[in-house]
Amino acid sequence: MTAYRNAIQLGDWIVTTDNSGGIGEKLDDLVAVPDRITARFATRVALLEQWAAGAEPEAVLLHNFSGDMSWDRYCEGIRDVFDEIGGVSPPISGSSETNMTLRQSAVAVTLIGKRVYESIVSNGNWYTYGTPLVGEEVLTKETEIASLAVLDEARRNGLIQRIWPVGSGGVLAEWQKITEDRTREITSPLDVTCSAGPATVVLLQIASGKLADAKLHFGPLLHAIE
């Protein structure tokens, strides 16, 4: 099975990133949301990819193409992610495009983390946690989004063996990627081809002996993959 998802390993260091374009506070943006929320969801994806690689972030690079006014709002969104899991944000640095004024918002968040544990590749069964959501649904159906706090607690308590965020390709595409089998189909109560936007749903590998506790921990958003 594939070990990492969209991460670069440099020795013991893991680099992950996510970006958003046309989402923000500019008049020509396709989705109108506060810059703070845009940065929060970009950071969320990069953090989940850190966890998928067995790493914890130690620094943040912010790439801001939306102008100086957006910098502080983006930083607030980054810190919101670490507040959600009861942690402290790593130091934030980066750059802003100030020579050119773009008509639409654009931002990227890169996390640099250190590997602290090995992702366990085992015979545990796979489940989805969360609901695939994209665009305005991310704002209107937030209770269906996989909770970072719930995931972090499960990681630390040993309830899950592996975590794998789902992106715009949907659950099926990620399942085929992680199993390295492009022909493999799955059965799920979710729409497995729908984009999950900013990783509103994740794949989890759970050992059979932990399943009862995992069901209690994750609740009704946990579904088996068959």
Cβ contacts of 101 within 8 Å, gap of 6 or more: 67
Architecture of the domain made up of 8-115? 2-Layer Sandwich (3.30)
Task: Write the class of the CATH domain 125-224.
Answer: alpha beta
* DSSP H or E run through 106: strand 106-115
Q: Identify the pLDDT of residue 73.
A: 98
Please give the Cα distance from 79 to 73 (Å, whole number): 10
The per-residue pLDDT for range 58-95, each reduced to its tens digit, is: 999 999 999 999 999 999 999 999 999 999 999 999 99
Residues of the chain with pLDDT under 70: 1-3, 119-122
Q: In angstroms, what is the C-alpha Rg of the chain?
A: 17
Looking at residue 9, its amino acid is Q
> What are 116's two structure tokens?
């602290």
Q: Identify the pLDDT of residue 3.
A: 61
- pTM of the full structure: 0.94
> What are 162's two structure tokens?
């592996």
Q: Identify the pLDDT of residue 219.
A: 97
Q: Identify the pLDDT of residue 87.
A: 95
CB 56 within 8 A of CB 113: yes
CA atoms within 13 A on the CB side of 199: 30
Instruction: Indicate the domain borders of the chain.
Output: 8-115, 125-224
Q: Identify the pLDDT of residue 188.
A: 87
